[in-house]
Amino acid sequence: MNTKTALSIQNWGNSLALRIPAKLARVSRLSVGQQVSIEATLDRLIVRTVGSPKLNLAQKLKQFDPVLHAGESMASAGRLGNEAM
């Protein structure tokens, strides 16, 4: 989804700043405190998120620690409660 908006450059101390509207932040999946890199060319700025790559389901399940989840059950635990017939 491409989203465009016109913004004004503002002063922030001795620097210049752009405020990112909530809609653009949501579309770009940006959040407060998130690390980004900025690349400058003659006529544009490119902002990219940095950090760990997004994990797929298999990677997330591999990191799952049942001790940290106070007895929550995983799908591999078999039938529990009323659904057992």
At 80 the pLDDT is 63
Alpha-carbon distances of 13 from 18, 58, 65, rounded to whole Å? 13, 46, 45
Residue ranges of alpha helices (H) inside the chain are 22-28, 57-63
Mean pLDDT of each 10-residue bin along the chain, 85 residues long: 85 94 87 90 91 78 78 62 64
Q: What is the CATH number of domain 1-71?
A: 2.10.260.10
pLDDT score of 74: 59
Strands 36-40 and 45-49 turn out to be antiparallel
The whole model's pTM is what?
0.53
The DSSP result for 5-20, as a single string, is -----EEETTEEE-PP
Would you list the domain boundaries of the chain?
A: 1-71
Question: Looking at residue 63, what is its pLDDT?
Answer: 82
